[in-house]
């Protein structure tokens, strides 16, 4: 089947809001190349479970495509149109299973040496889209906070080497009550700028009590979900003929209810997000440091929050993968020093991902070695590559960075 | 399509043509090496023939290939901030080596298929996760068929059960009976220990896809061959394995036994510890790099100390490919090699030992597929179906 054959009723399997959205644009969808359209449908089919920022971006993208003339559309998408696809891809159910199609497309593009052409086409399209539909400016400058090193008493590894050139390194931070001070700052921002999913607290361990206005995700809270997921992976892998790609497809189809969610809060969007962190992330099921980093990355990319506080916690020590996935309720041996190194890199990635959002030049970032006196603050008013021995509280430091 | 998947803050860099990025990477590597290891730019040196340099007839030469896997980036290796992770390469091996700064892999960036491409000289397109042989003849088949070498003269030591079919292709003119013997040390250890728990740390498999261990078929190594070929008792093997800390250490232990007992002329070692990076833990990725660095030096020392190898062996060390750049928003930095960006495709190679000029760096572009025809020219066999070109600087 080709896009030109599309009919509105073929989207009847989509969730209600997604169906409504896509049905309104069937006309323009018919004119899109098959190498492009399923990528768009992969986003659209999830519309009911997307964060507000994602929804608005998708709506604008569709409206923009709809506003183009046939000639402009060809021009915008010519790179995609020139790709050769297989008959198997053309005959697959790309309407109802667009994510599966995109996975198969990716494999096909690698195999046929067309990945670079696809990449160039995607970059060209994204550039034009950004010009036509600029990303939304945030209603307030964004703030990112990362706390690393929980449980580490002494450390001989130099920290923040990648971040220091971008901001000021403080050696005499007052660590007392630091986490609470920072959570208070985040809560105050949530009250001052009440944006849905605009203020996040991600904890790689057990979350500290926090203001209900924050979107809170913690590795500890998801322990029962992770246990159910591990059981499902085990049962799938024991089935004859099950390979990694099949397993990935099965995992991608899991819904919150399959893993014991929804939670008591009944937030379908957040539940879906959390499930995706565990089913689509690599290593997130077994290493809390990976979970915290990947969740922060996805929260920034998808929800585009105004405030993000990420607190890393010690992960379990490395063991064979199968053993880690099969672990029961026994207490895992932890690796605080290894986790500190993971989190130090994770903090850098949090900053990089914050920089990818609109308004990056006004954003500020703080990384703190928990319960210690070291921190780096980055912001428009702080000099780069400097050091300070001034005794300062964390909330004050954040104020300087903003 | 969500534009968030695509680079923004670094868009100018991404806009550079891939070959420009590769050239920049190569230049940067050369500068690092020139400053720290004091090596010269190779293109300024006059060539001389391989035979004249080695004084060893092609029929007596030996080659060992180590794939520095599964993929490491410059910033954790050759860049100034990464050199602390590769002290053995930097201070022991590179000063003795010819170093190629720009080895581009234009194929599929999956470890099995990329290693198969290195071994065939053709960008293979087989399923990375299936237990399939390469479709094109391997270097092992070319070597054995052309030079009429026995199976015991060509070995592959690979860490993952997924590599069990790498020894010979499905090509109708080559294939069954002409390939390399393949040892999968973890498979061997599993058989020797009958599932005991003392060795779990050596049996980690396939970090990208935990749980998945393909059923073994093809050219598996039988347990009884421990005694007959490697001269190792099961008890000795188990006792020594207990002292090791990773699958790659186990592989190098087997390599030493092979070198001592069988002294194969062509030996291919695939390292894989670094690929723990797929689990997203930076500290374990760095540990993997440091361990691989040490193990490469261990193999080099073994070459020097074994009479069958000393003075007539050329060692090649190269990654199968790199890993994703921090700058590419489509990836997640060191964790994967999925974007196909220049950093994940552009890597390096060092050659050292018999016939190789020491302390020179070459930064012209070459491809991963050039390895097989180069080894063919060095060892005296032809690789007619390989797509690459012999590296003249080594001949």
> pLDDT (tens digit, 9 = 90+) per residue, B6-20?
333 333 333 344 455
What are the distances in angstroms from CA B243 to CA B40, B202, B233, B253?
Answer: 40, 10, 16, 11
Please indicate if any CB of chain B lies within 8 Å of the CB of A283. Answer: yes
* pLDDT of A227: 92
Question: Chain A within 8 Å of B335 (Cβ-Cβ)?
Answer: yes
What span, in angstroms and rounded, lies between the C-alpha atoms of A127 and B8? 9
pLDDT one-digit tens code per residue, A177-216: 999 999 999 999 999 999 999 999 999 999 999 999 999 9
- B131 or A108: whose pLDDT is higher? A108
Question: Counting beta carbons within 10 angstroms of the beta carbon of residue B182, is it exposed (0 to 12), middle (13 to 18) or buried (19 or more)?
Answer: buried
Model confidence, pTM: 0.90
- Mean pLDDT, rounded, for A385-398: 95
Q: How many domains does chain B have?
A: 1
Q: Tell me the C-alpha distance between B246 and B248, whole Å.
A: 5
- Picking from B255, B269, B264, B257, the residue whose alpha carbon sits closest to that of residue B67 is B269
The answer, yes or no, to whether the previous bond of A262 is cis (omega within 30 of 0) is yes
Q: Alpha-carbon dihedral of residues A248, A250, A253, A256, nearest 10 degrees? A: -100
Contact B286 A113 (CB under 8 A): no
Q: Which residues pair with B362 in a beta bridge?
A: B100
Cβ of A319 within 8 Å of Cβ of B340? The answer is no
The first and second tokens of residue B302, run together, are 């073994």
Calculate the CA B277 to chain-centre distance. Answer: 17
| A117 close contact with B: CB closer than 8 A | no
Q: Do A282 and B278 touch (CB under 8 A)?
A: yes
Nearest by CB to A282, from B208, B282, B333: name it: B208
Nearest CB to B1; choose among A36, A289, A338: A36
CB contact under 8 A, A349 and B333: yes
Contact of B177 with chain A, judged by CB distance below 8 Å, is answered with no
For residue B264, being part of any structural domain is answered with yes
Distance of CA B55 to the CA centre of its chain: 27
pLDDT at res. B7: 30
What single DSSP character describes residue A334?
A: B
How many angstroms separate the Cα of B41 from the Cα of each of A274, B99, B353?
52, 10, 19
User: Contact at 8 Å (CB) between A49 and A272?
Assistant: yes
Q: Nearest Cα to A36, choosing from A1, A69, A71, A82? A: A82
Mean pLDDT of A41-58: 97
Is B388 within a domain? no
Least confident of A119-123, A236-240, B115-119, B348-352: A236-240
Q: Which residue in B9, B15, B107 is closest to A355 by CB distance?
A: B9
User: Where does the pLDDT of residue A264 fall: very low under 50, low under 70, confident under 90, or very high at 90 and above?
Assistant: low
Closest CB to B340: pick one of A39, A116, A294: A116
Q: Which among B211, B279, B335 has CB closest to A322?
A: B211
Distances (CA, A) of B3 to A40, A44, A277: 11, 14, 20
Which residues in chain B (132-171) have CB-CB distances under 8 A to chain A? none
A111 versus B202: which is more confidently predicted? A111
Q: Report residue A67 as tokens.
A: 């506003």
In a domain, B285, yes or no: yes
Length of chain A: 402
Parent domain of B106: 3-41+51-381
Residue A133 CA to chain centroid, in angstroms? 22
Burial A120-142 (b: 16+ CB within 10 A, else e): ebbbbbbbbbeeebebeebebbb
Rounded (to 5) percent helix, strand, coil in chain A:
50, 10, 40
Task: Write down the domain spans for chain A.
Answer: 3-132, 143-401
Q: What is the pLDDT of residue A329?
A: 55
Q: Which of B369, B372, B316 is nearest to B64 (CA)?
A: B316
Residue B307, classified by CB atoms within 10 Å of its CB into exposed (0-12), middle (13-18) or buried (19+), is exposed
Least confident stretch, A69-83, A312-326, A388-402: A312-326
| C-alpha to C-alpha distance for B280 and B335, rounded to whole angstroms | 5
Q: What pLDDT does A74 receive?
A: 95
User: Which of B210, B211, B155 is closest to B184 using CA atoms?
Assistant: B155
Longest alpha-carbon distance in chain A: 68
Residues 20-59 of A with CB under 8 A from B: 36, 39-40, 43, 54, 57-58
What the block records as the tokens of A28 is: 């323009």
Nearest alpha carbon to residue B320 among B22, B117, B30: B117
What residues in chain B have per-residue pLDDT under 70?
1-54, 161, 194-224
Residue A212 tokens, joined? 């209900």
Which residues from chain A sit within 8 angstroms of residue B8, using beta carbons? 130, 356
**Residue B9's domain is classified under what CATH number?**
3.40.720.10
Q: Which two tokens stand for residue B11?
A: 């868009």
Contact state of B211 with A282 under an 8 Å Cβ cutoff: no
Count of pairs with CB atoms under 8 A, one residue in A, one in B:
147
- Beginning with the edge strand found earlier in the chain, give each strand of the sheet holding A199-203 in spatial order: A215-218, A199-203, A307-311, A143-148, A364-369, A375-378, A168-170, A386-388
Considering the domain boundaries, does residue B389 fall inside one? no
E strands within chain B?
Answer: 40-41, 62-67, 97-104, 154-157, 181-183, 266-270, 313-318, 346-353, 360-362, 366-367
pLDDT over 90 (residue A43): yes
Contacts of A171 (CB under 8 A, 6+ apart): A373, A374, A387, A388, A389
Q: Is the pLDDT of residue A174 over 70?
A: yes
Matching residue, tokens 């500068």? B31
Q: How far is C-alpha B103 from the chain's CA centre? A: 13
Write out the H or E segment, with its range, that includes residue A369. strand A364-369
Non-local CB neighbours of A100 within 8 Å, separated by 6+ positions: A92, A93, A249, A252
Residues A296, A316 contacting (CB under 8 angstroms): no
Q: What pLDDT shows up at residue A240? A: 75
Q: Which positions 99-118 of B are in contact with A (Cβ < 8 Å)?
A: 106-109
CATH of domain A143-401: 3.40.720
Instruction: Tell me how far apart the alpha carbons of residues B341 and B320 are, in angstroms, rounded to a whole number.
Output: 15
Confidence category of residue A17, pLDDT binned at 50, 70, 90: very high
Reported ipTM: 0.93
The verdict on whether omega for the bond into residue B136 sits within 30 degrees of 0, i.e. cis, is: no
Q: Determine contact: B329 vs chain A, CB below 8 A.
A: yes
Distance from CA of A307 to the nearest CA of B (A): 18
pLDDT > 90: what percent of chain A? 82
Q: How far is CA A312 from CA A216, A226, A341, B2, B126, in A?
A: 14, 18, 11, 28, 39
**In A, which residues are within 8 Å of B124 by CB distance?**
none
- E strand or H helix at A203, and its extent? strand A199-203
For residues B255 and B299, is the Cβ–Cβ distance under 8 A?
yes
Mark yes or no for CB contact B210/A352 under 8 Å.
no
3-state secondary structure (DSSP) of residue B103: strand
From the number of C-beta atoms within 10 Å of its C-beta (0-12, 13-18, 19+), residue A29 rates as buried
Q: Tell me, what's the pLDDT at B1?
A: 36
Task: Using an 8 Å CB-CB cutoff, list chain B residues near A349.
Answer: 326, 332-333
Alpha-carbon Rg for chain B in angstroms: 20
Q: Are A36 and B208 an interchain contact pair (Cβ–Cβ within 8 Å)?
A: no
In tens, the pLDDT along A147-172 reads 999 999 999 899 999 999 999 999 99
Entry field: residues in chain B: 395
Chain A positions in Cβ-Cβ contact with residue B3 (cut-off 8 Å): 57, 61, 126, 129-130, 135
Of B286, B4, B309, give the one whose Cα is nearest residue A130.
B4
pLDDT score at B11 = 34
**Scanning every residue of chain B, which has its alpha carbon at the shortest distance from the alpha carbon of A337?**
B283
């Amino acid at each position: 089947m080709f896009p030109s054959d599309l009919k509105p009723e073929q989207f009847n399997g989509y969730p209600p809001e997604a169906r409504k959205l896509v049905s309104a644009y069937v006309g323009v969808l018919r004119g899109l190349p098959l190498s492009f359209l399923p990528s768009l449908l992969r986003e659209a089919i999830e519309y009911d479970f997307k964060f507000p920022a994602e929804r608005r971006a998708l709506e604008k993208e569709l409206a923009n495509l709809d506003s183009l003339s046939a000639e402009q559309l060809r021009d915008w998408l010519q790179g995609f149109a020139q790709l050769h696809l297989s008959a198997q891809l053309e005959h697959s159910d790309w309407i109802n299973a667009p994510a599966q199609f995109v996975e198969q497309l990716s494999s096909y593009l690698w195999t046929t040496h067309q990945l670079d052409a696809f990449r160039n086409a995607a970059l060209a399209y994204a550039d034009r889209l950004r010009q036509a539909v600029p990303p939304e400016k945030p209603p307030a400058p964004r703030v990112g906070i990362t706390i690393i090193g929980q449980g580490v008493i002494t450390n001989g590894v130099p920290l923040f080497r990648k971040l220091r050139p971008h901001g000021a390194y403080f050696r005499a931070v007052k660590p007392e009550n630091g986490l609470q001070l920072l959570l208070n700052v985040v809560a105050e921002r949530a009250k001052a700028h009440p944006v849905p999913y605009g203020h996040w607290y991600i904890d790689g361990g057990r979350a500290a009590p926090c203001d209900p206005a924050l979107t809170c995700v913690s590795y500890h809270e998801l322990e029962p979900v992770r246990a159910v997921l591990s059981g499902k992976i085990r049962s799938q892998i024991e089935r004859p003929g099950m390979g990694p790609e099949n397993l990935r497809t099965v995992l991608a189809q899991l819904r919150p209810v399959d893993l014991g969610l929804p939670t008591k809060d009944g937030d379908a969007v957040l539940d879906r997000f959390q499930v995706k962190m565990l089913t689509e992330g690599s290593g997130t099921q077994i290493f809390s440091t990976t979970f915290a980093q990947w969740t922060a990355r996805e929260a920034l990319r998808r929800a585009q929050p105004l405030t993000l506080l990420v607190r890393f916690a010690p992960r379990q020590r490395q063991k064979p993968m199968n053993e880690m996935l099969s672990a029961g309720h026994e207490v895992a041996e932890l690796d605080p020093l290894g986790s500190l190194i993971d989190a130090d890199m994770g903090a850098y990635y949090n900053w990089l991902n914050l920089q990818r959002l609109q308004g990056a030049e006004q954003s500020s970032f703080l990384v703190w070695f928990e319960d210690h006196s070291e921190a780096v603050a980055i912001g428009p008013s702080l000099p780069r590559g400097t050091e300070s021995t001034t005794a300062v509280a964390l909330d004050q430091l954040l104020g300087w960075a903003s | 399509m969500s534009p968030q998947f695509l680079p923004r803050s670094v868009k100018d860099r991404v806009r550079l043509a891939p070959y420009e990025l590769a050239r920049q990477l190569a230049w940067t590597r050369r500068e690092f090496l020139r400053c720290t290891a004091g090596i010269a730019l190779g293109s300024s040196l006059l060539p001389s023939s391989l035979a004249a340099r080695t004084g060893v007839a092609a029929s007596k030469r030996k080659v060992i290939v180590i794939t520095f896997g599964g993929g490491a980036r410059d910033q954790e290796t050759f860049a100034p901030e990464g050199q602390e992770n590769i002290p053995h390469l930097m201070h022991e091996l590179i000063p003795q080596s010819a170093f190629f700064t720009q080895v581009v892999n234009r194929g599929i960036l999956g470890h099995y298929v990329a290693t198969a491409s290195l071994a065939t000289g053709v960008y293979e397109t087989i399923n990375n996760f299936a237990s399939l042989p390469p479709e094109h003849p391997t270097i092992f088949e070319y070597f054995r068929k052309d030079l009429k070498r026995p199976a015991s003269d060509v070995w592959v030591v690979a860490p993952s059960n997924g590599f069990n079919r790498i020894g010979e292709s499905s090509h109708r003119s080559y294939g069954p009976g002409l390939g390399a013997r393949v040892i999968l040390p973890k498979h061997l250890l599993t058989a020797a220990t009958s599932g005991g728990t003392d060795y779990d740390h050596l049996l980690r498999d396939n970090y990208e896809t935990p749980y998945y261990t393909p059923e073994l078929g093809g050219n598996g190594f039988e347990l009884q061959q421990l005694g007959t070929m490697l001269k190792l008792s099961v008890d000795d093997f188990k006792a020594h394995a207990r002292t090791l800390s990773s699958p790659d250490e186990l592989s190098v232990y087997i390599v030493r036994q092979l070198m001592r007992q069988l002294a194969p002329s062509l030996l291919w070692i695939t390292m894989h510890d670094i690929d723990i990076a797929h689990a997203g833990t930076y500290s374990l990725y760095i540990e993997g790099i440091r361990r691989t660095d040490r193990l490469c030096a261990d193999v080099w020392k073994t070459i020097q100390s074994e009479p069958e190898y000393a003075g007539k062996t050329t060692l090649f060390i190269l990654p199968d490919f790199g890993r994703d750049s921090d700058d590419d928003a489509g990836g997640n930095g060191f964790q994967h090699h999925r974007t196909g960006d220049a950093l994940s495709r552009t890597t390096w190679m060092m050659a050292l030992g018999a016939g190789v000029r020491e302390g020179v760096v070459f930064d012209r572009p070459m491809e991963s597929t050039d390895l097989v025809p180069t080894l063919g020219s060095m060892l005296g066999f032809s690789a007619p179906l390989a797509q690459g070109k012999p590296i003249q600087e080594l001949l």
